[in-house]
Amino acid sequence: MRVAVIGFGMMGRQIAQVFAQHGSEVAVTDENPVAVKSGLDEVAHGPYGIESAVAKAKITREEGAKTLLTVSKIGSRLSKKDRLLGMHFFNPAQITKLVEIVKTDETSERAIQEAAKIVESIGKTPIIAQDEPGFIANRLGLTLYLQASKLLEEETANIHDIDLAMKLGYNHPMGPFELADFVGLDTRLRNLEALFQATGDEKWIPPKALREMVNQGYMGDPSRRKGSKGGYHEFFETTH
């Protein structure tokens, strides 16, 4: 299978690696040539990259070498609307098992079925969503995050206890604030801004604290966000 990834930022790099590790011929391109070089470096040496996977015995050294031979630069695009659909991966794409297949009103059933087979072939589980703002997972996740933010703002509970409520009460692997720090607070802010702009619904307006944190350089987990001052705990310990 041949796969083209257009845009080699954080998610593009992860998606390219996932397909390459599962035997696909992957081509990547980005309007910024530097992004291609830095992206290939991350695929090779990053925390979820090929070297790490080999070291943890997730893949063999031979499979790792083959993966890095298959990533190159090229550009292509689809033209037939009945074949057009979205595939929404989750961060980090190398680990998370879910992929949302996003269909338009013109996407054919055959295209959806083929996309589902592709998703399954790389060891992930597909779900189907209509092309509406936020799809499924983001709308559910952001709704929880906004309610958690409201509890914090109203001083109903603190960050630690809100996170524990979801981890121990609902068996979530991470609490809403822990997850926000993991994903990146700037990413979370962009998600909410995009939903608000797309729908005009005031329920998606980002919390004031989130905007303050991003403006002041608190982007989330510093180990995942280079240059970040920290996340929720660091911000509230420093300013409150």
The per-residue pLDDT for 60 is: 65
**Arithmetic mean of pLDDT, 11-29:** 80
The answer to whether 78 touches 23, Cβ cutoff 8 Å, is: no
Which of the residues are catalytic?
88
pLDDT digits (tens, 9 = 90+) for 32-76: 766 655 666 666 656 666 556 655 666 665 665 554 473 322 323
Please report the domains of the chain, with CATH numbers, ordered by start residue.
2-73 (3.40.50.720), 81-130 (no CATH), 137-239 (1.10.1040.10)
The per-residue pLDDT for 74 is: 30
pTM equals 0.71
Q: DSSP assignment of 194-234, as one string?
A: HHHHHH--GGGPPPHHHHHHHHTT--S-TTTSTT----HHH
Relative to beta strand 71-73, strand 85-89 is: unpaired
The yes-or-no verdict on residue 193 having pLDDT over 50 is: yes
Out of 119-128, 152-161, 188-197, pick the least confident: 188-197
**Arithmetic mean of pLDDT, 165-178:** 97
The yes-or-no verdict on residue 176 having pLDDT over 80 is: yes
Helix segments in the chain, DSSP class H = 10-21, 33-45, 50-55, 61-69, 109-121, 137-153, 159-169, 176-183, 185-199, 208-215, 232-239
Alpha-carbon gap, residue 192 to 146, rounded angstroms: 10
The yes-or-no verdict on residue 82 having pLDDT over 90 is: no
The most confident of the ranges 8-17, 36-45, 154-163 is 154-163
At residue 107 the predicted structure's pLDDT band, cuts being 50, 70 and 90, is: confident
